[in-house]
């Protein structure tokens, strides 16, 4: 699960997938940028997750790296900018084919500069998306 900072959208996606996947899938998250490496998720995202029974407080931000193509079968980008940044690190077509947009043809909006309702919206979008992913891979 990959977004820009790895403190809002992708940790939420990781937390939801861990909960829904019940240890059947190995999941991790990362950011394309290096601004927040080592940071806990945004407090507003932690609070929204908690309201839905998902604990993301122990996650710490890391940056996506090209080795991740070797570690994971599928890589989900939260928006088209993340998608392009991930693709630019791909070594070959096999790497590129692993990269998907988590929503079929739209972006998960970045909630960082908005109000609390943006975080709830992100949760709802990602919950539905993660359910679909699990249906598709099971």
The residues that touch ligand 4NP, with contacts defined as CB under 6 A, are 3-9, 31, 35, 110, 112
CB nearer ligand 4NP, residue 6 or residue 69: 6
* Closest CB 114 distance from ligand 4NP, rounded Å: 10
| Distance of alpha carbon 133 from alpha carbon 73, whole angstroms | 13
* Closest CB 92 distance from ligand 4NP, rounded Å: 26
CB nearer ligand 4NP, residue 72 or residue 112: 112
* Closest CB 12 distance from ligand 4NP, rounded Å: 8
CB nearer ligand 4NP, residue 63 or residue 97: 63
> Of 8, 9, 42, 68, which one is the catalytic site residue?
9
Catalytic-residue membership of 44: no
Catalytic-residue membership of 110: yes
Cα–Cα nearest to 49, from 75, 100, 10, 95:
10
Active site residue ranges: 3, 9, 110
């Amino acid at each position: 699960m990959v977004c820009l900072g790895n403190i809002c959208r992708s940790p939420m996606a990781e937390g939801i997938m861990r909960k829904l996947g019940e240890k059947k899938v190995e999941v991790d998250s990362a950011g394309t940028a290096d601004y927040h490496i080592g940071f806990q998720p945004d407090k507003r995202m932690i609070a929204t997750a908690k309201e839905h029974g998902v604990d993301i407080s122990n996650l710490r931000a890391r940056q996506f790296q090209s080795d991740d193509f070797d570690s994971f079968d599928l890589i989900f980008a939260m928006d088209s900018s993340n998608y392009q940044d991930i693709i630019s690190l791909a070594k070959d077509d096999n790497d590129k084919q692993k990269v998907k947009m988590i929503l079929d043809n739209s972006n998960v909006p970045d909630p960082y500069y908005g109000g609390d309702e943006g975080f709830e919206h992100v949760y709802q979008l990602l919950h539905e998306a993660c359910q679909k992913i699990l249906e598709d891979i099971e």
